Amino acid sequence: MTIDKAKLKALAEAATPGRHYDRLESAGGGIKYECTGDDGSLVLKVDHKNNEFGFVGDRGEADEAFFLACGPATILALLAEIERLEKFEDWFVRLDQAEQSLSASFKAERDQLKAENEALRTDAERYRWLRNPAGTIVVRNVQCHLFGSRMDEQVDAARTASAKPAVECDACPRSSGCVGSCMKVAP
């Protein structure tokens, strides 16, 4: 159903405020008026010539009460409520658009984090393969026999040492200038 709200508002603003219905007991002239419902049933009949007037039918009292309740103030209040709800609808549409934008942003960030996680997983698998007891490894031209947790300790020590300034190492085969990168393992 489409409502011409502007026309309805203009009619309500131009109408006499309130609804007061006076039943005329008699009237002269030939004025005749009938109002029917959507189903064709007679709702209101005015026939001054034959002294017929008022709301008629099984629902006459309810029709009259409804007619009296539909004053201009009521119509204007309903139109104001429709306008208020339409503003809410616009707000919800904008809110939904913002949510979709945020959702897309979060999905992109999630996908980036998944890719970074996969790269870290691959690096961890490489490291586990390297520390696997498969024999000896050569790091910077030094042959090492490191396995499992012993290699973990040496890797952790080397990472810590690389963050520190150059140090001297008593166990280092180099004469001086050791930076803890030879991974020499004491017997």
Q: What is the secondary structure of 8-22 as a DSSP string?
A: HHHHHHHSPSS----
Q: Does the residue 48 lie in any domain?
A: yes
Span 10-23, pLDDT tens digits: 777 776 565 544 44
- Separation of CA 162 from chain center: 48
Q: What is the mean pLDDT of the chain?
A: 73
Predicted confidence at residue 100, as pLDDT, reads 93
Give the residue-averaged pLDDT of 145-151: 66
What digits encode the pLDDT tens for the residues 93-142?
999 999 999 999 999 999 999 999 999 999 888 887 776 655 566 667 77
Residue 159 lies in a domain: yes
Is residue 158 pLDDT above 50, yes or no?
yes
Does 149 have pLDDT greater than 60?
yes
Query: What is the residue whose two structure tokens read 């180099």?
Result: 174
Residue 187 has pLDDT above 60, yes or no: no
Percentage of residues in the chain having pLDDT higher than 70: 63
Q: Which helix (H) or strand (E) holds 67?
A: helix 60-69
Residue 47 has pLDDT above 90, yes or no: no
Res. 168: pLDDT tops 90: no
Is residue 58 one of the residues assigned to a domain?
A: yes
In a domain, 123, yes or no: no
User: Is 113 a domain residue?
Assistant: no
Cite the beta strand spans of the chain per DSSP E.
32-36, 42-47, 52-55, 137-139, 142-144
For residue 57, give every residue at least 6 positions away whose Cβ sits within 8 Å of its Cβ, in sequence order, or none: 41, 42, 43, 63
Specify the higher pLDDT residue, 105 or 161: 105
Mean pLDDT (whole number) for 152-161:
79
Q: Indicate the number of domains in the chain.
A: 2
- Do 73 and 9 reside in the same domain of the chain? yes
Residue 57 placed within a domain: yes
Q: Torsion angle of alpha carbons 55, 61, 63, 64, nearest 10°?
A: 70
In a domain, 186, yes or no: yes
The Cα–Cα gap between 86 and 80 comes to: 10
| Domain membership of residue 139 as a residue range | 132-187
